Amino acid sequence: MINRVVLVGRLTKDPELKYTQGGIAVTRFTLAVNRTFTNQQGQREADFVNCVTWRKQAENTANFLRKGSLAGIEGRIQTSNFEGKDGNRVFMTEVVADSVQFLEPRNANAERGGGGFGGYQNQGAPSQGAPSQGPYQQQPSYQSNQQPNQQNYTNMNDDPFSTSGGPIEVSDDDLPF
């Protein structure tokens, strides 16, 4: 059996980072994915896909993605059900993302003007998330809890393609082919 999903879309709102009682990070977000065709009015529509990530991937997603960020995810579809507050059975379908790829620079959202997600809005779409557990206390950002090893990271604000006053020299040894 195969259960694999690959999606590319924009986040409809900032990801929500929470921690389980056992201290495991979990982030939920919704991805707006454009359809490949237009409707009768010639407009593109989008599907709004609920996604969840766990552990380190959840912390990275919450720290680096914002509303309007372009992301690619790979994962699996998971369905579950539970009894709602009104006593009715609620069915939930979401993508459990094993991999989240950040597909644009961190500041690209600000350059687009605060960023929507392709002009689509999730108006009146039913929420398929888990029932609200009431107020929760959000944990501080991962970056404030631990100091990452800075030598392994590139500053996201540095533009690697900016000109440093001269041409970029590339030798045959630099090419992968």
Q: What pLDDT was estimated at residue 40?
A: 87
Q: What pLDDT was estimated at residue 39?
A: 85
CA 38 to chain CA centroid, nearest Å: 25
Q: What pLDDT was estimated at residue 132?
A: 38
Domain extent listing, the chain: 5-131
Cβ distance 27 to 17 under 8 Å?
Answer: yes
Q: What pLDDT was estimated at residue 138?
A: 41
DSSP β-bridge partners for residue 74: 6, 99
SS3 6: strand
For residues 152 and 93, what is the distance between their CA atoms, to the nearest angstrom? Answer: 37
Q: Which is higher by pLDDT, 6 or 39?
A: 6
Q: Which amino acid is at 169?
A: E
Per-chain mean pLDDT for the chain: 75
Task: Give the CATH superfamily of 5-131.
Answer: Nucleic acid-binding proteins (2.40.50.140)
User: Judging by DSSP bridges, how do beta strands 44-54 and 25-38 pair with one another?
Assistant: antiparallel
pLDDT digits (tens, 9 = 90+) for 29-79: 999 999 988 888 888 889 999 999 999 999 999 999 999 999 999 999 999
Q: What pLDDT was estimated at residue 24?
A: 93
User: Judging by DSSP bridges, how do beta strands 44-54 and 16-19 pair with one another?
Assistant: unpaired
pLDDT digits (tens, 9 = 90+) for 116-129: 444 433 333 333 34
Q: Which amino acid is at 158?
A: D
pLDDT digits (tens, 9 = 90+) for 129-147: 443 333 333 443 444 344 4
